[in-house]
Chains A and B, each alone.
Chain A
Amino acid sequence: MKTSRFAISRLRDVPSALAPGRGVPAGAGSSDPYVLWRPAGPVAAGELHLLLLAGLAMAAFIVPVLLLYAYVVARYRDRPGHRAPTLPRWRKNAWLESLGFVLPALLLAVVAVPTVRLTYALAKVPTRPRPLVVDVTSLDWKWLFEYPAQGIATVNYVDIPADRPVLFELTANSPMNTFWVPRLGGMEYTMPGRVLPLWLEADRTGTFWGHSGQFSGLAFDAMFFDVRAVRPGAFRRWVAATRAHSPALTLAGYRSLLHAGLAPAERFAAFPARTFPAVRHGFTLRGGMYTTMRPASPAGHSAS
Chain B
Amino acid sequence: MPGFAVFILHTLFPPDVLRPTEVGADVLIALSGGGIAYLLTTRRLWGRLWHGWITTVDHKRIGVMYLIAALVMLFRAGVDALMLRTDLALPGAHVIGAAQYNAVFTTHGTIMVFFMSMPFIFALMNAVVPLMIGARDVAFPRLNAMSLWLFVAGAMLLNVSFVVGGSPNAGWTAYAPLTELAFNPGPGQNFYFLALLIAGIGTTMTGVNFAVTILRMRAPGMTLLKMPMFVWSALATATLILFAFPPLTVALAMSLFDRLFGSSFFTMGHGGMAMMYVNLFWLFGHPEVYILVLPAFGVFSEVVATFSGKAVFGYRTMVLSIVAIMLLAYGTWVHHFFTMGAGPSVNVFFGLSTMLIAIPTGVKIFNWIFTMWGGHIRMTVAMLYQLAFIPTFVVGGATGVLLAAVPADYQLHNSYFLVAHFHNVLIGGTLFGLLSGLYYWWPKMFGRRLDERQGRVAFWLFFVGFWVTFAPQYLLGFMGMTRRMASYPLGLGWHPLNVVSTVGAFVMGAGFLALVYNIAHSLLHGEVDTTGDPWNGRTLEWALASPAPAYNFARIPVVRARDAFWHMKRDGRTLAALRREDLRDLPMARNSPVPFLMGTAFFVLGFGMVFAWWPIAALGGAGIAACLAASTAEPDDEAVLDSHTVAVIEAAAGRLEA
Q: Does B558 contact A (CB under 8 A)?
A: no
A240 to chain B: closest CB distance in Å? Answer: 32
> Which residue of the partner chain, among A3, A15, A47, contacts B410 with CB atoms under 8 Å?
A47
Which of A50, A65, A77, A213 meets B379, CB within 8 Å? A77
Q: Give the docked Cα–Cα distance between A285 and B14 (Å).
A: 25
Docked pose: A23 CA to B409 CA in angstroms: 26
Q: Is A58 within 8 A of B398, CB to CB?
A: yes
A51 touches B405 (CB 8 A): yes
**Contact assessment for A62 and B275 in the assembled complex, using a CB-CB cutoff below 8 Å:** no
Interface pair B369/A221, CB less than 8 Å apart: no
Q: Which residues of A contact B102 (CB under 8 A)?
A: 215, 217-218
Q: Tell whether, in the assembled complex, residue B489 and residue A23 are in contact, meaning their CB atoms are under 8 Å apart.
A: yes
Inter-subunit contact A78/B16 (CB<8 Å): no
Does A193 contact B363, Cβ atoms closer than 8 Å?
no
Residue numbers in A under 8 Å from B525 (CB-CB): none
In the bound complex, how far is the Cα of B226 from the Cα of A283, in angstroms? 63
Inter-chain contacts of A120 with B (CB < 8 A): 344, 348
B349 to chain A, nearest CB (A): 10
CA distance A102 to B102 in the complex (A): 44
What 0/1 readout, one digit per residue, does chain A (11-37) give for beta carbons within 8 Å of chain B?
Answer: 110110011111111001100011111
* Inter-chain contacts of B365 with A (CB < 8 A): 65, 100
Q: Which residue of B lies closest to A14 (CB)?
A: B98
Q: Is A244 an interface position by the 8 A CB rule?
A: no
Task: State whether A189 and B339 are in contact (beta carbons under 8 Å apart), knowing that A4-B181, A15-B97, A54-B408 are contacts in the complex.
Answer: yes
The answer to whether B344 touches A15 (Cβ under 8 A) is no
CB-contacts of B296-311 with A (<8 A) = 308-311
- Chain A, interface residues (CB within 8 Å), range: 35 or more
* Stretch in contact with the other chain, from B242-250, B387-395, B545-553: B387-395
A20-B93, A86-B374, A103-B362 are contacts. A78–B406 as well, Cβ < 8 Å? no
A192 & B185 in contact (Cβ 8 Å cutoff): no
* B267 nearest in chain A by CB position: A192
Query: Looking across the interface, which residue of chain A has its beta carbon closest to that of B493?
Result: A33
The answer to whether A119 and B374 touch across the interface, beta carbons within 8 angstroms, is no
Cβ contact within 8 Å between B374 and A88: yes
Tell me whether A86 and B348 are in contact in the complex, defined as CB-CB below 8 angstroms, given that A65-B365, A290-B269 are known contacts.
no
**Which residues does chain A contribute within 8 Å of B372, judged by CB atoms?**
72-73, 76
Inter-chain contact B490/A34, CB cutoff 8 Å: no
Q: Which residues of B contact A196 (CB under 8 A)?
A: 340-341
Fill in one digit per residue for B461-481: 1 if any A CB lies within 8 Å of its CB, else 0.
Answer: 000000000000001011110
Contact between chains at A192 and B410 (CB < 8 Å): no
Q: A36-B480, A73-B377 are in contact. Are A175 and B312 (CB under 8 A)?
A: no
Residues of B within 8 A of A61 (CB): 362, 394, 398
Structural contact, A219 and B98, CB atoms closer than 8 A: yes
Asked if residues B363 and A100 are in contact (CB atoms below 8 Å), the reply is yes
- Write the chain A residue with the least CB distance to B399: A58
The CA-CA distance from A2 to B395 in the complex, in Å, is: 50
Contact of A33 among B310, B364, B376, B479 (CB under 8 A): B479
* Chain A residues with CB under 8 A of B270: 290-292
Is A178 touching B414 in the complex (CB atoms < 8 A)? Answer: yes
- Taking a contact as CB atoms under 8 Å apart, the answer to whether A18 and B487 are in contact is yes
In the docked arrangement, what's the CA distance between A257 and B255, Å? 27
Is the Cβ of B492 less than 8 Å from the Cβ of A33? yes
Hey, which chain B residues are within 8 Å of A37, CB to CB? 478
B611 close to A (CB within 8 Å): yes
Contact A213 B413 (CB under 8 A): yes
With a cutoff of 8 Å between Cβ atoms, the chain B residues found around residue A241 in the complex are none
**Given known A34-B479, A97-B314, A119-B344, contact A186–B409 (CB-CB < 8 A):** yes
Task: List chain B residues, Cβ under 8 A from A140.
Answer: 183
Interface size on B, residues (CB 8 A): 117
Q: Quick one: given A69-B390, A78-B377, are A214 and B414 in contact (CB under 8 Å)?
A: yes
**With A1-B612, A15-B98 known to touch, is A88 a contact of B310 (CB < 8 Å)?**
yes
| A234 interface residue per 8 A CB criterion | no
Q: Are B370 and A119 in contact (CB under 8 A)?
A: no
User: Is A273 an interface position by the 8 A CB rule?
Assistant: no
Contacts of B479 in A (CB 8 A): 33-36
- The smallest C-beta distance from B5 to any residue of chain A, in angstroms, reads 14
Q: Are A215 and B484 closer than 8 Å at their CB atoms?
A: yes
Partner of A108, one of B166, B359, B399: B359
Which chain A residues in 274-292 approach chain B with CB under 8 Å? 284-286, 290-292
Is the beta-carbon distance between B362 and A100 smaller than 8 angstroms?
A: yes
Residue of B nearest to A260 (CB): B183
Stretch at the interface among A109-117, A127-135, A156-164, A246-254: A109-117
Most B CB within 10 A of own CB, among A35, A54, A215, A216: A215
Cβ of A33: which chain B residues have Cβ within 8 Å of it? Answer: 479, 492-494
- Contact with A55, one of B180, B402, B493 (Cβ below 8 angstroms): B402
**A88/B375 contact (C-beta < 8 A), A186-B410, A284-B269 known:** yes
The answer to whether A188 has its CB under 8 Å from any CB of chain B is yes
Q: Tell me whether A65 and B317 are in contact in the complex, defined as CB-CB below 8 angstroms, given that A36-B480, A115-B348 are known contacts.
A: no
Question: Does B271 have its Cβ within 8 Å of any Cβ on chain A?
Answer: yes
Residue contact B406 to A115, C-beta cutoff 8 Å: yes
- Complex contact B405–A175 (CB within 8 A): no
Interface stretch, picked from B113-121, B152-160, B350-358, is: B350-358
Docked complex Cα distance between A76 and B368 (Å): 13
Give Cα A265–Cα B415 distance, bound, in whole angstroms: 25
A3 to B187, CA, bound (A): 12
- Closest Cβ of chain A to B358, distance in Å, is 5
Tell me, rounded to whole Å, the shortest Cβ–Cβ distance linking B418 to chain A.
Answer: 9
From B171-179, B588-596, B601-609, B639-647, the one touching the partner chain is B171-179
Contacts of B50 in A (CB 8 A): none
Partner of B310, one of A11, A91, A187: A91
- CB of A34 within 8 A of CB of B407, answer no
CA–CA, A99 and B370, complex, Å: 12
Give B residues with C-beta under 8 Å from A: 7, 10-11, 14, 16, 91-94, 97-99, 102, 166, 170-171, 175, 177-178, 180-187, 268-275, 308-317, 337, 339-341, 343-344, 347-348, 351-352, 355-356, 358-359, 361-367, 369-370, 372-379, 387, 390-391, 394-395, 398-399, 401-402, 404-415, 475, 477-480, 482-494, 611-612
Known: A54-B401, A186-B339, A187-B410. 17 other contacts (CB 8 A): A2-B7, A21-B491, A34-B478, A54-B408, A69-B369, A73-B377, A77-B379, A87-B310, A91-B310, A100-B314, A120-B344, A176-B178, A178-B414, A215-B483, A218-B98, A221-B484, A285-B183
A-B contact pairs, 14 of them (CB 8 A): A14-B98, A15-B98, A15-B486, A50-B408, A51-B405, A76-B372, A76-B373, A88-B310, A108-B359, A122-B407, A175-B180, A187-B339, A187-B413, A290-B270
A binding-site residues for B, Cβ under 8 Å = 1-5, 7-9, 11-12, 14-15, 18-25, 28-29, 33-37, 44, 46-48, 50-51, 54-55, 57-59, 61-62, 65-66, 68-69, 72-73, 76-78, 82, 84-93, 96-97, 99-101, 103-105, 108, 111-112, 114-116, 118-120, 122-123, 140, 174-176, 178, 180, 182, 185-189, 191-194, 196-197, 209, 211-221, 224, 284-286, 290-294, 297, 299-300, 304
Closest 6 CB pairs of A and B: A186-B410, A20-B92, A33-B493, A87-B374, A4-B185, A104-B362
